[in-house]
């Protein structure tokens, strides 16, 4: 059996420095992998937030149109008011979160 006391100090130092380099490389790889996962999650979160904001604007616009339609005195009011919910339904499906 090979004993560590029989190996020269240069070989021992070389092995230890090699292990240190491998440890540092593993730490750097782990940091890069973790950073990529965090940036991906942040990007998805921001995308969902923008979709939610767009959807709230669309819903708000539909509500304003509905309120204006209810308060208008146009003779075409029933025909216009029936078409409003249909106009913004496809946009709601587009921005589904």
Longest CA–CA span in the chain (Å) reads 104
- pTM score of the predicted model: 0.46
Structure token pair of residue 4: 């560590």
Nearest one of 68, 67, 56, 63 to 92, comparing CA atoms: 56
- State residue 69's pLDDT score: 66
* DSSP letter string, 3-20: -GGGS-HHHHHHHHHHHH
The pLDDT of 72-79, averaged and rounded, is: 62
How far apart CA 61 and CA 57 sit, in angstroms, is 6
Task: Supply the range of the domain harboring residue 30.
Answer: 4-94
Model confidence at 36: pLDDT above 80: yes
Q: Count up the domains in the chain and report the number.
A: 1
């Amino acid at each position: 059996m090979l004993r560590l006391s029989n190996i020269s100090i240069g070989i021992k130092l070389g092995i230890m420095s090699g292990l240190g380099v491998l440890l540092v490389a593993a730490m750097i790889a782990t940091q890069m992998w973790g950073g990529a996962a965090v940036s991906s999650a942040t990007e998805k979160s921001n995308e969902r937030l923008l979709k939610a904001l767009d959807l709230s604007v669309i819903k708000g616009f539909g509500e304003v149109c509905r309120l204006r339609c209810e308060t208008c005195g146009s003779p075409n009011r029933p025909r216009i008011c029936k078409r409003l919910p249909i106009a913004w339904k496809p946009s709601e499906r587009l921005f589904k979160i």
